[in-house]
Amino acid sequence: VLAPRRGWIFPGLDQRLAAAPALGSGAPPSRPYAAAAKTAKKGSQKTKQEETKKKQVTKRRLLMSKPVDDVYLTWYYERPSYNLEEAVGMLKKFQELDFTHPKQYVYINVFLDMALQKKKKVDPFASAVLLPYRFTDETNKVLVFTENEQEAEIARENGAAVVGGVELIKWILEDEIQVDFYVAVPAIMPKLIPLRNKLRRKYPSARRNSLGHDIPKMLQLFREGLEYMVEDENIIKTRIARV
């Protein structure tokens, strides 16, 4: 069979002929399956990996200052920020344009720096705070643990929903009593251990200001205060006002 060009019938023939050594030449034949090279030292491998990582880092596109058109890609531009007065004015304007209720809540996202020294982070937490201007008339139901009659009377006068001692443990475990928060005096804490797994983060503790001797102060904080908690490791999402 006549072929116009060598290699058309047998693909790769040119490469094999070119690779074959000439007769009588002292050069050793090339092996298609060469032995694997010896592994380099660990130090050199690390340096090579670091060099490849440096090469792989791509330069991030610089953000543009301000969009020119009405329709644009948001990730090309810096996110606009406004001062407090301007932001509140914009919320009121949006409320009028959208015909929403004028007493709707205003929410805020607070991003926390939870990093500590030696590559540790602060554990997510929950707490309550008294705002200088209350924006709702709702109050939380608070239970006060005490076995002192005088302290119990003070708790009732300051708006406690439930006041009692050890006799409340059974009712709480059976879900007969359900309130928003629990506060206690230090003297009764050893008797409340059976409620630790039931109440979890609502279990009275000095860290959350729900354990102490100042019953009126604790009741004001948890009846009128705003509860917040850290979500997604470093974000607090909560409402702070009304439009």
Residue 174 pLDDT exceeds 80: yes
Contact by Cβ (8 Å): 108, 242 = no
pLDDT at position 1: 45
pLDDT higher than 70, residue 12: no
DSSP sequence for the chain:
---SSTTSSSTTHHHHHHHSPPTT--SPPPPSSPPPPPPPPHHHHHHHHHHHHHHHPPPPPPPBSS-SSSS--GGGBPPP---HHHHHHHHHHHHHHHT--TT-EEEEEEE---B-GGG-BPPP-EEEE--SS--------EEEE---HHHHHHHHHTT-SEEESTTHHHHHHTTS---SEEEE-GGGGGGGGGGHHHHGGGS--TTTT-BSS-HHHHHHHHHHSEEEEEETTTEEEEEEEE-
Over 80: is that where the pLDDT of 109 sits?
yes
Q: Is the pLDDT of residue 224 over 60?
A: yes
For the residues 89-99, what does the mean pLDDT come to? Answer: 90
Residues 19 and 158: their CA atoms lie apart, in Å, by 98
Q: How confident is the model at residue 188 (pLDDT cuts 50, 70, 90)?
A: very high
Residue 172's CB is within 10 A of a number of other CB atoms, namely 21
Answer yes or no: is pLDDT of 45 > 90. Answer: no
> Given pLDDT bands bounded at 50, 70 and 90, which one contains residue 59?
low
pLDDT of res. 62: 63
The mean pLDDT of the chain is: 82
pLDDT at 29 over 60: no
The pTM score is 0.63
pLDDT number for residue 183: 97
Band of the pLDDT at 75, cuts 50, 70, 90?
confident
Q: Which pLDDT value is given to residue 77?
A: 85
Structure tokens at 112: 């926390």
Q: How much of the chain exceeds pLDDT 70, in percent?
A: 74
